[in-house]
Structures are given as C-alpha cells and as structure tokens.
Amino acid sequence: MQISDLPHPDPGVPDARSGPRFLLWLGRNQLGGQVKSLCWGLLHFCGIAGLPFAVGMGVEAVVHRDGTRLLLVGALLVVIGIGIALGDTMLHRTAVTNWITAAARVQQLLARKTAELGSALTRRVAAGEVVAVSTGDVEKIGWFVEAVSRFLAAAFAVVVICVGLLLYAPALGVIVAIGVPALALAVLPLLPLATKRADIQREKAGRATELASDTVAGLRVLRGIGGEELFLSRYREASQEVRRAAVRSARMWALISAIQVLLPGILLITVAWYGATLVLDGRIAVGELVAVFSAVATMMYPLRHFEEIAMAYSFSRPSAKRAARVLSLVRTESGPAGHVEAPQPGGDLYDPQTGLLAPAGLFTAVVCGDPDLAGRLAERLGGHPALDEEPEDRPSVLLGGVALDELALDTARTLVLVQDKDPVLLSGTLRELFDVPASRTVEARSALAAAQCGDVLDALLQSAPDGVTDPMDARITERGRSLSGGQRQRLALARSLVTDPEVLVLDEPTSAVDSHTEARIAEGIAGLRAGRTTVVLASSPLLLDRADRVVLVHDGAVAAVGTHRELLHDEPRYRAVVTRETDEERRLAQLAEALTEIEESA
C-alpha cells in the first residue's frame, strides 16, 4: 500500500486481546509492505556484508600485483556500491511507508472506536490516556512495525558475514562467530529494567497530560476562583516527576548504548591483535586480515539494529497494550448487534433494569437522587449500557419492543439521541455547529429560540469580525470557551433540538441557567417537542412542572409515577430530592401537618 492510498478503506477488525497480539495483527496486515522492505534491506545489508570480502580480495590483488584481478575487484566494488545505495534508498522509502500506514491504521481504528462508544469511552479510560494513545503511542507502534523488516535484514546480513568469515578465514572466523552472538545478547539482562523505567516515564507523562488537559478545560473557572497558581504548581510538580523519570530511563538506555559500543570495540581489538599474530606466523595472508577486520568493523552497523528493535519493542509494547485496551471496549456484548430491524415509529421507550417507561409522544421527566445514576441511566436509554457491568446484569432498553443495543449503531443513534450533562461544542461557525444529521423538520432558528439563545447570538455577533452580519456565520472558539457555561449549555440544547430524533434524552439540560431562563426553556422544549417522545433527567421544579408525567427512580428502580404536583404532595422521597428538604425539615413539616389536623378536628 502506498501513502497516497491512505486512509485505509477498511482498517479491519483488530486482535485486541493483548499488546503483542495487536502488534502481530498489524504486522500481518502489512505483509506486502514488510516483504518489500525486507527485500530492499537484504540488498542493502548484503551489499555492506560483501564490502569487506571485496576489499580483502583487492588487497590480495595488490600484494600479488595482479592488475586484472584488481580491475575485477574495482568493478565488483562499483556494483556493491550501487546495490548499497539503491537498497538504502528504497529501504528507507518502504520502511517509512510501513510506519505511516501502520500509524494511520491505528488512528482509524481509534477514531472508529471513539465514534462507536461516544461519551461512554471516557468513563472507562481517562481522557489524558486517550490523547496519549492517539498521539505518542501511535508513533511508537508505527516505529516497531517499521523496524521489524530492517532488523530481519540486518540479522540476515550478520549471519552471512559470520558464515562467510568461517569459510574465508576459519582461524579468525571462529572468534567472530563466538563474539557476535555475545554482543547481540549482552544487553538482554538490562532490557527488562529499561522497559520498566520507560513504562514509569510514560505513565507519569500520561498523568501530566491529563492534568494539563483538565486545567486548560477549567481555566475559566480557575481564574474566577483564583486557583491558577494551585493547579500550576500541581502541573509543575507532575512535570518534574516526568523529567526525573525520563532521566532515569535515559540513563539505562545510555548504559545499553555504551555496552553496544564497548563490546564491539573489544572484539575489534581482539581480532586485530590475534590476526596480526597469525599474519606474522604466516598462517593467514594480509588480505585475509584486512577482510576480517573490515567485516567486524562493518558488522557494527547492522548490529545497531538489534539495539533499535529492542528499544522499539520496549517502547511499543506498553503503547500497544494501551491501544488494545481501548480497542477492546465494546458498545454491548448482548445480542447480534446490527441484525435486527428498526422498530416502527411511535413505540414506547422502556428500561427493564429500572422499570422506567417513557410513553410515545409524551414529555417524561425522570428524577434520580443520585446524579451518577442519572448519567448511567441516560447512557443506557441511548443504547449504551454501562461498560463495567456484566452483560447478564444489563438488559437492553427497548424501543417499540426492539432492543436498542441489538440495532446497528447508526440506526440506534438516529432513533434515540442522548445529550449528557457536559456536551461539547466544536470550533467553527454556528452554521457548521448545526450541520448535523437531522430530520430537517426543525429549523435552527426555531431550536435556538426554544433554547433561549438570543443573548448567545448577540454575544457571538459582537465578537465576530467586521462584515459578519448573520450570527449563524459567527465563529465559536474551541469547546466554546469564550462563552459562559449557561450559553454553551443552551447552544448544545438547541443543536439537540435541531436533530429532532424520535426519542430525545436530556440529562440536566438547564443546570447552568437561571430560573427565569429555565422556565422559558422548559416551555420551549415542551412546545417544540410536542407529539415527540422526550425524556429529561432533572430535579428542577420548573422543568418537572412542564412534563406530562414524572418518574421517581430510587435505589435503581422506579419508585413512583405521577405529575409533579401529585408526587410533591404524596411522595416524601420525591419531595426530598426536588425541594432539597432535610430529614429535620421533613419531621417538622409532618409535625405541623399533624397539629393542623388536630386543631381542625377539635
């Protein structure tokens, strides 16, 4: 595959059972590129392996004053030089192609997995780790895939040189044949320690990246409470830990590199000293000594690839493990997803786990005393059960009697849209923000009006460059950081309303707005979604009062159903959540009610 053919039409289904298995899977998917790189590598390294023998033959020709033989050796050196240059050029080209295509494959797999899991991904994997996997880890994985073919070619060249020396000059070839494996294996005892230190460094770097990401995301709030210095000091401390871990790791790799230089030097000295002794004794010719010495010196180049493959695997193994962990996450494990027909329009939404029923065409509000439970319930209603639950413990949500997690992902998301309590706004114009898959029956301006975004449009227009007169052409900064939390929340709500799905699930859509705006938003949602199934997880009386029916979920199950006013009067647990009533206040209210009844009866 060529770089111009990227991206891959289909990156495939990865073997994500472990890091090594994932690396092996990547290699198998690039056999063609690996074979090309190996062939060019063999040409390059075998040309290098042939140089010492050609030089030795040339020295012998000079010693014996054989001009014809010297000309032949010169021609042979020209051919070897061309082979080395051509092999090196094409080896670099094919190896880099392998690197880039492997990295592109991994990035496509990660992007596909991120789109499949949505916000559920960061509930199992920290955002900083996801960033580390999709950036630095991808490069390390590509490095190992690229280095394999060069290592195999270098290893073959080393074997060729050792065998050639045994045949060409047995007396010295034995020393080389014994010394070279010792050189290649000398650093193996140090690799586990080097790998451990490298893993510690990457772990600390991941934590520092996550801390930096969280700090940048909350910079507006930090400035408001004067917490910049506190988080700056935390990041400075984390950064210093990364530096110290990197220094410890670098020291170990420096020791390995030093051994790779020292031991070959000792071998060279041994060959030169013993070879000179053999020449003086007349047991070998001068040309043979030159050939053997040149071969050992030349062998240092392919031997470096032994160190490189060890480093590449050491760095890529934990990276592949992290990538495999992300890629092994699944949307659901229950049912043959994608093999079920979509339900007919107008079906009820039902969650067997909690007993929650949202009748078709009604505005249903759900009250949960536990905010975490509300978030998990919202995800489950969208066909994304909690990933940390066993499949048998998480029955699928049904829409019109059809299990959502058995539908194709695109179909499920078309039918049910979930907006979590912390939606993300991407940078771009407001028009681009609303350019989302939708039924096209709700216009952007109607959705903006229902979400009470008038002041947001004015703010965007005021900050827009000269010449921009339509607020839809105004640009939103990254994640909408130039807007307040309430403004971002309302824009996200308007975007969800524009899609006009069959079922819309909103998790605390008005938590960051004032009560007056919240009342108008509640009215806008009820009006715009009339006749469509809407589920809102909230505890605000203003939203609850606009709902057709309210459901109280307590301890993971439906505890009461009714209107807001009915539950407020008849259900103490509902009243405690909605009014924030304490136990002491509840007892006083009950006492006052009892006294009133006694007075009335008297």
Q: Which residues lie below 8 Å from residue 75, measured CB to CB, with a gap of 6+? A: none
Separation between Cα atoms, residue 104 and residue 318, nearest integer Å: 19
Q: Is the pLDDT of residue 335 over 50?
A: no
Q: How far apart are CA 589 and CA 576, in angstroms?
A: 12
The answer, yes or no, to whether residue 411 has pLDDT greater than 60, is yes
Average pLDDT over the chain reads: 83
Amino acid at 321: K
Average pLDDT over residues 300-313: 83
pLDDT value of residue 291: 80
Average pLDDT over residues 381-399: 68
| pLDDT of the residue at 410 | 77
The pLDDT of residue 39: 93
Q: Which structure tokens are listed for 164?
A: 């050639």
Average pLDDT of the residues in 159-175 = 84
pLDDT score of 126: 64
Evaluate the CA torsion angle 139, 142, 148, 153 in order and state its sign: negative
- Check residue 211 and give its pLDDT: 72
HSE-CB for 121 with a 13 A CA cutoff? 20
**pLDDT confidence of residue 123:** 65
Give me the helices (H) in 169-227, please.
170-185, 191-217, 219-225
% pLDDT > 90, the chain: 25
Helix (H) or strand (E) holding 419: strand 416-419
Q: Which of the four CATH numbers 3.40.228.10, 1.20.1560.10, 3.40.50.150, 3.40.50.2300 does domain 15-327 have?
A: 1.20.1560.10
**Is the separation of the CB atoms in 56 and 299 below 8 Å?**
no
CATH 1.20.1560.10 maps onto the chain at: 15-327
SS3 361: coil
pLDDT band at 191 (very low <50, low <70, confident <90, very high): confident
pLDDT digits (tens, 9 = 90+) for 488-545: 999 999 999 999 999 999 999 998 888 899 999 999 999 999 999 999 999 899 999 9
CATH superfamily of 349-570: P-loop containing nucleotide triphosphate hydrolases (3.40.50.300)
Residue 85: pLDDT over 50: yes
pLDDT value at position 379?
83
Q: Given a cut of 90, is residue 5 above it in pLDDT? A: no
Mean pLDDT of the region 411-415: 83
Does residue 123 sit in helix, strand or coil? Answer: helix
Between 297 and 25, the higher pLDDT residue: 25
In sequence order, the β-bridge partners of residue 561 are 551
Q: ω before 7 within 30° of 0 (cis)?
A: yes
| Count of C-beta atoms within a 10 Å radius of residue 285 | 17
All residues at 6 or more sequence positions from 10 whose CB lies less than 8 Å from its CB, including other chains: none
**Residues 554, 369: contact at Cβ < 8 Å?**
yes
Residues 6+ apart with CB under 8 A from 529: 363, 497, 504
Compute the average pLDDT of residues 175-198: 81
DSSP-derived letter for residue 129 is H
Strand order in the sheet with 398-399: 356-358, 349-351, 398-399, 402-403
Question: Whole-angstrom Cα distance, residue 273 to residue 271?
Answer: 6
SS (H, E, C) 127-182: HHHHHHHHHHHHHHHHHHHHHHHHHHHHHHHHHHHHHHHHHHCHHHHHHHHHHHHH
Query: What's the pLDDT at 369?
Result: 79
What span, in angstroms and rounded, lies between the C-alpha atoms of 333 and 392? 9
Token output for 116: 């499949």
In what helix (H) or strand (E) does residue 552 lie, and over which residues does it extend? Answer: strand 549-554
In a 3-state reduction of DSSP, which class is residue 576? Answer: helix
Predicted pLDDT of residue 216: 63
Give the DSSP per-residue string, 232-294. Answer: HHHHHHHHHHHHHHHHHHHHHHHHHHHHHHHHHHHHHHHHHHHHHHHHHTTSS-HHHHHHHHH
Q: Give me the residue label for tokens 């301890």.
A: 555
Place of tokens 């078309």: 414
Query: Please, what is the angle between helix 67-117 and helix 31-63, to 10°?
Result: 160
> Residue 307 — very low, low, confident or very high, per pLDDT cuts 50/70/90?
confident
Mean pLDDT value of segment 278-293: 82
In our burial notation (b when 16+ CB lie closer than 10 A, e otherwise), range 309-325 reads bbbbbbbbbbbbbbbbb
Q: Are strands 475-476 and 503-507 parallel, antiparallel or unpaired?
A: unpaired
Q: How confident is the model at residue 518, as a pLDDT?
A: 92
Please report how the helices 286-328 and 228-280 are oriented relative to each other, as an axis angle in degrees rounded to 10. Answer: 150
pLDDT at position 381 over 80: yes
Across-strand partners of 507? Answer: 537
Q: Is the pLDDT of residue 336 over 50?
A: no
Segments of the chain assigned to CATH 3.40.50.300 = 349-570
Answer whether residue 449 shows pLDDT above 50.
yes
pLDDT at 36 over 80: yes
Start-to-end Cα distance in the chain: 93
* Interval 229-244: pLDDT, tens: 777 787 788 888 889 9
For residue 600, what pLDDT is reported? 67
Tokens of 4: 């111009």
Q: Which of 23-32, 91-100, 152-161, 470-479 has the lowest mean pLDDT?
A: 470-479
Structure tokens at 80: 């070897």
Read off the amino acid at residue 532: R
User: Mean pLDDT throughout 470-482?
Assistant: 81
User: What residues form DSSP beta bridges with 399?
Assistant: 349, 402
Taking residues 382-408, report their average pLDDT.
Answer: 72
- Is-above-0.75 flag for pTM? no
